[in-house]
Copies of this chain bind each other. A is one copy, B any other.
């Protein structure tokens, strides 16, 4: 979805951001019902824009709708984590492969710049202030987006973007509960190097491995 510009041109857009943030940060938990009365209080607006925001969030998999029973926060599960991971490996792997094959000098610049921005601040961890964690998350997303930005397929890019944001909720779980023992920075650097060396297959394989490790690090949590 790329219809909202940050800052707020419409109230519905603001509501979308506010509720999305509440879900991502855990202010409302998976399975929680989202009552319109509460959301109107949270967002400070009437029911109509809230309804539109929920429609968008539902399309992206953050919330689910039960006819005449309203909306609730989508639950997290090991099955979904595995499912999303496998689908990302397929789609984003191919997107990266295409991007490496078709990227021009301008694309190389975007990748280098995005990596540089991300590497400048420490990775999200328990002992890092929340604001900086948010910042790193944004730069992390921008780096992955830059990698596949030259794939030439808007449809594939849209799919990857949606899957990335759906996986974001699981990624946050990883940060807050397990810490980060892996050398994520090293994985990212290697990803960039393979891409810039125009090793399409190698970069795609490294990306699949990268996502596989992230998922594996979370498997334990759901064993509870």
**Stretch of A35-43, A151-159, A168-176, A201-209 with 4 or more beta carbons under 8 angstroms from chain B:** A151-159
> In this complex, what residue of B is CB-closest to A90?
B94
Alpha-carbon gap, A55 to B65, bound state (A)? 14
B156 touches A87 (CB 8 A): yes
Expressed in whole angstroms, the minimum distance between the Cβ of A6 and any Cβ of chain B is 12
B65 near A3: Cβ-Cβ < 8 Å:
yes
| A153/B83 in contact, CB under 8 A | yes
One digit per residue, 1 when the CB lies within 8 angstroms of any chain B CB and 0 when it does not, for chain A 1-32 equals: 10111000110010000000000000000000
- How far apart are the CA atoms of A52 and B53 in the complex, in Å? 10
Q: Mark A137-161, 1 if CB is under 8 A from B, else 0.
A: 0000000000000000111100100
Contacts of A59 in B (CB 8 A): 1, 55-56, 59-60
Q: Is the interface of A mostly helix, strand, loop or mixed?
A: helix
Known: A55-B55, A59-B56, A159-B159. A83 touches B10 (CB 8 A): no
**In chain B, what residue has the closest Cβ to A52?**
B55
Interchain nearest-CB distance for A163 vs B (Å): 7
* Residue of A52, A90, A159, A163 with most chain B CB atoms under a 10 A cut-off: A90
A74 within 8 A of B: no
- Name, among A80, A87, A91, the residue most crowded by chain B CB atoms within 10 Å (CB to CB): A87
Asked if B65 and A156 sit within 8 Å, CB to CB, the answer is no
Q: Which of B3, B65, B84 meets A67, CB within 8 Å? A: B3
Tell yes or no: A86 within 8 A of B by CB: yes
Structural contact, A153 and B65, CB atoms closer than 8 A: no
Within 8 A of B (CB), among A73-100: 80, 83-84, 86-87, 90-91, 94
A51 to B58: give the CA distance in the assembly, Å: 15
Q: Is the Cβ of B83 less than 8 Å from the Cβ of A154?
A: yes
Contact check, A9 vs B67: say whether CB atoms are below 8 A apart.
yes
Minimum CB–CB distance for A87 against chain B, Å: 4
Is residue A130 within 8 Å, beta carbon to beta carbon, of the partner chain? no
Q: In whole angstroms, what is the CA distance A59 to B13 when docked?
A: 14
A5-B67, A90-B90 given. 16 additional CB < 8 A pairs? A3-B65, A9-B68, A10-B67, A10-B68, A48-B51, A51-B52, A55-B55, A55-B59, A59-B59, A83-B153, A86-B156, A87-B153, A87-B156, A90-B91, A90-B156, A159-B159
